[in-house]
Chains A and B, each alone.
Chain A
Amino acid sequence: GNSVTQMEGPVTLSEEAFLTINCTYTATGYPSLFWYVQYPGEGLQLLLKATKADDKGSNKGFEATYRKETTSFHLEKGSVQVSDSAVYFCALIREGGATNKLIFGTGTLLAVQP
């Protein structure tokens, strides 16, 4: 079946450090891929997405590239801020269906220290 695997957290970084959160997926065909962020006490917000191979999603300095050959969608940011501290979820929606069912990874807690 379809699944998403994320690196275990927490990830602790100093402000202005480079961030990578790894995400790999298992799915048939070409699923759409997403990164969501959850700040403390809030629901999820869409951070970025990519719907086909080699697409790069980007938003607020975060980027992720859809790599079909490695079934990966790693999240990166060149310089993190304290305000980026949150839980980050990688997710997919299977290819081709008119569905909104998101399959999530386990989430990665990011803590940025000043």
Chain B
Amino acid sequence: KAGVTQTPRYLIKTRGQQVTLSCSPISGHRSVSWYQQTPGQGLQFLFEYFSETQRNKGNFPGRFSGRQFSNSRSEMNVSTLELGDSALYLCASSLTRGETYEQYFGPGTRLTVT
């Protein structure tokens, strides 16, 4: 069974640009969550999607947005990039919601903003 895939793996953008990251969950998984990982702030929750609806949102500015498609694939978008957005963005998929269900993480997208 294929794992969680994230594309692209690496990305370099300039301040002020926008970026879209993609996450394909494990087949059959309906829940996708996104996290930002930085050396200073650690792992912080961005959003959680289930059945194409955002179910939970972390404490990030409105420049960070996401969506989920009917095939459970998810994208996140960051507009007007800032230097501080440089991070590893991880997505995780699980069968459904709830702590009983294991979350599987992708390898991440490394975003560098210059």
Contact = CB atoms under 8 A, between A and B. Distances in A.
A17 interface: no
Contact of B105 (A43, A103, A105): A43
Contact of A100 (B31, B43, B58, B108): B31
User: What bracket does the count of chain A residues touching chain B fall in?
Assistant: 20 to 34
Contacts, number: 66
Interface stretch (B14-22, B62-70, B96-104): B96-104
Nearest to A33: B99
A104 B97 contact: no
Contacts of B100: 51
A89 B108 CA distance: 16
B99 A46 contact: no
Interface string B1-26: 00010000000000000000000000
A98 to B, nearest CB: 4
Contact of A46 (B43, B45, B48, B102): B102
Contact of A99 (B98, B104, B105): B98
B55 A99 contact: yes
Contacts of A107: 42-43
14 contacts: A41-B107, A44-B92, A49-B99, A49-B102, A89-B43, A93-B99, A100-B92, A100-B94, A101-B56, A102-B103, A103-B45, A104-B35, A105-B42, A106-B42
